[in-house]
């Protein structure tokens, strides 16, 4: 089975966790949600995957895809 390239940030008993999809344990745990989001962005960009950011209630608040499979890549504003 191949490893997932997608990550999520969500609540953890010790703060906020970054976790790869289908992983048993968190990739990292942070005191602040912003720190977890930064770490998750780094991992998602490195793997070319998606990052889903969840709220305290566990519901997805935001998501972003990084890399060559991004369905909405930034547009070059130069003409």
pLDDT tens, residue by residue, 6-35:
999 999 999 999 999 999 999 999 999 999
With a cut of 70, say whether residue 70 has pLDDT above it.
no
- Give the residue from 55, 13, 53, 21 showing the smallest Cα distance to 37: 53
Average confidence (pLDDT) over 40-46: 95
For position 73, what pLDDT does the model report? 62
- Going by C-beta distance under 8 Å and a sequence separation of 6 or more, which residues neighbour residue 58? 10, 11
pLDDT band for 1, please (50, 70, 90 cuts).
very low
């Amino acid at each position: 089975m191949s490893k997932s390239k997608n990550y999520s940030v969500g609540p953890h008993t010790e703060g906020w966790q970054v976790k790869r999809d289908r992983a048993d344990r968190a990739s990292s745990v942070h005191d602040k949600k912003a720190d977890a989001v930064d770490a998750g962005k780094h991992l998602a960009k490195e793997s070319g995957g998606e990052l889903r950011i969840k709220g305290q209630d566990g519901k997805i608040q935001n998501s972003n895809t990084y890399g060559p499979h991004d369905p909405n890549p930034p547009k070059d504003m130069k003409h």
